[in-house]
Amino acid sequence: MDDYILSCQDLTVSFKDSEPPVLRGLTLGVRENEFLVILGPGQCGKTVFLNCLAGLQLPTEGAVYYRHNKVVGPGRERGVVFQKYALFPWQTVLGNVAWGLKSQGVSKEKRRAIALKYIQLVGLSGFENAYPQTLSGGMKQRVGLARAYATGPKVLLMDEPFGALDAQTRYAMENELLILWEKEKRTVIFVTNNIEEAVFLGDRVILMSARPGRIKIEREILIPHPRSYTDPTFLALRQEISAETDLAL
């Protein structure tokens, strides 16, 4: 457990006693600055798992650890990018990105400076004063990324951040996420139900099964970035993972 920045031990979550648990006996360690992808079909408990890591959901059994400390609630060192965009509609892009900093008591000028930096990093310069409703899906999720980055977390938890985007925007966003990640290395735990996205992004992919949610297989992906969808190794890996799942390709 020593090498892991975030880990969980025998994590079990059940909401109703009458049903099988949503997650059962999940044990996992995440290395510092790793890009870990969690791949799983819909409704297999990916969001519940991420919520546990974020401290938003307390496990029925087992525990989550940040380094050596047991996680008992949300913490500044863990940032979240949510599945639906989850932007505050009454705040501008700047307001949304700076929101977390405000609740941490950062001074106004500093908040602005930090927020502007990340708005620029995600390529939204010029939209600081726009409201979320006026943004496209891709832009909204850029704001979500900037907001999660702005508070300076060590670990970023991303819940299908590009799930609602069209294929082209999605591909562009995947690339930009990697660029951002190279620029500002963080530990990323990225949840998706898309095999190609998983193989394209991850240093390591964890495949989850549904009801109860468990780790089915685990693969290190050593293909260097930038990866190509048509690279033979890429295709082989995609084939291998999809053989293990009932996910549609």
Q: Which of 75, 65, 28, 35 is nearest to 184 (CA)?
A: 35
141 binds ligand ATP (CB under 6 A): no
* Smallest distance from Mg ion to CB 112, Å: 33
54 binds, among Mg ion, ligand ATP, another protein, none (CB under 5 to 8 A by kind): another protein
170 vs 158: CA distance, rounded Å: 14
84 binds another protein (CB under 8 A): yes
Integer angstrom CA distances of residue 158 from 39, 90, 131, 149, 234 = 12, 23, 22, 11, 23
Q: Binding residue for another protein (CB under 8 A) from 88, 113, 167, 225? A: 88
* Smallest distance from another protein to CB 195, Å: 26
193 binds, among Mg ion, ligand ATP, another protein, none (CB under 5 to 8 A by kind): ligand ATP
Please give the full DSSP string across 105-142, using - where no structure is assigned.
T--HHHHHHHHHHHHHHTT-TT-TT--GGGS-HHHHHH
Using CB under 8 A as the binding rule, the residues of this chain from 149 to 168 that contact another protein are 151
Question: Of 35-43, 69-77, 106-114, 178-186, which segment contacts ligand ATP by CB under 6 A?
Answer: 35-43
Question: Of 36-44, 120-128, 133-141, 230-238, which segment contacts ligand ATP by CB under 6 A?
Answer: 36-44
Q: Is residue 96 within 8 Å of 147, Cβ to Cβ?
A: yes
Q: Binding residue for Mg ion (CB under 5 A) from 14, 47, 91, 175? A: 47
185 vs 203: CA distance, rounded Å: 13
Distance of CA 104 to the CA centre of its chain: 22
- Please count the residues of this chain forming the interface with another protein, following the rule CB under 8 A: 24
Residue 163: CB partners within 8 Å, gap ≥ 6?
83, 192, 193, 194
90 binds, among another protein, Mg ion, ligand ATP, none (CB under 5 to 8 A by kind): another protein
Q: Binding residue for another protein (CB under 8 A) from 8, 22, 80, 139? A: 80
**Quick one: 157 or 221, whose CB is closer to another protein?**
157
Q: Using DSSP, state whether 54 is helix, strand or coil.
A: helix
129 binds another protein (CB under 8 A): no
133 vs 126: CA distance, rounded Å: 16
Residue 58 corresponds to which tokens in the numbers above? 């307390």
Using CB under 6 A as the binding rule, the residues of this chain from 68 to 97 that contact ligand ATP are 83
Binding site for ligand ATP (CB under 6 A): 15, 22, 40, 42-48, 83, 160, 193
